[in-house]
Structure 1
Amino acid sequence: MKTETLKGFGLNDEQVKQVMAEYGNEVNTLKQEKDTAEQERDSLQQQFDEVNSQLADAQKDAKKGSELQGQLKDLQDKFDESKANAEQQLQATKKDYEISNALRQAGAKNEKAVMALLDTDSIAFNNKGKLTGLSDQLDTIKKDNDFLFEAENTETKTPIITPTGNPNPTGAPAGKELADYSYQELSALKADNPTQYQELVGGSN
């Protein structure tokens, strides 16, 4: 607003001054209100930017946390799998050892040949750590394929007598059977240890 415009409306100088003063007050009030609004706007914008930045950081951390949790889960799964495989391998090795030991005790001539006839899947450890499902299979295989096993020796062997002292004046080794003794040795054994002499003579009948 200009003074010439106000004078054109027929206002004198005093009236023009009053109108201009009033106008100035209104303008200043509006300017202050504008400045205040701009400050509030800028403050709100700053707060918004800070919140938005914090939200973005939180989203990144959440993503990193999620990725870390995923990595930990993958590692745990791999560990569990490796542990299970190791335990399974250990049990398989232990079972093979126990089966092999049982075959040796059964007199198997060729363990691989006998092993091929076994249903190893049905052989397992019980809760006491003992193999089950093996002895019955071995009995059947032994019955049907006796040539794969050593023949059982049921003959009664003459006990080997080791006399005390020195019943062997000729220097022959002790622990012989009756037929290996000379007359002099038998005489010396009878004189030194009659009990063992009787056992030796009686065992030869």
Structure 2
Amino acid sequence: MKREDLQKIEELTKDQIDSIMNLHQNDVTAWNQKFDTQKTELANKDQQITDLTEQVKEYDGADVKQLQKDIKDWKTKYDTDMAKEKKNSAIKLAVLGAKPRNEKALMALIDTEAIKLNDDGSLTGLTEQLDNIKKDNDFLFEPAQDPKDPEPKPNQVDLGGNHDTQPEVDDGQLRSVFGLPKDAGGNK
């Protein structure tokens, strides 16, 4: 819309034409802003399409089904290895609980394939194997201690006197032994 077009209409005053032109200018400015925003969004989307196309080209020729199969195989291998490691760790802990003299020697006699790790963490088949090994090779285990027998004590020398109580020594005696002043003030 042009000012000249409005001036051709005889009933419109100059103030009315100015008001109409101001309203028209506001509308044009708003539409221009919308247009610029949409133009910027379109340019951004074009750039995203270009970037994504480049990324897809990096995987051009990749066999997606083979990749999915490889991932599944690696997950299966990981799960299997973790289950085996959990089982071996549980067996080693149980073997240490049996108090062997040499863990490696005892482990060589255990058939780990015959042992099953249960969901609760317990082992099935290990106790029987340990009992059979103890029967035939009890030298592999520390001797069982009779609960009636006290712990063996190292040789003790009794020098007489009562060693369970400590003698009472006052602060002044200790200070004099070490050549310190008798009180904190520095007086001897």
The TM-score range, normalised by the shorter chain, is 0.3 to 0.5
TM-score, normalisation: structure 2: 0.47
Bigger radius of gyration among the two: 1
TM-score, normalisation: structure 1: 0.43
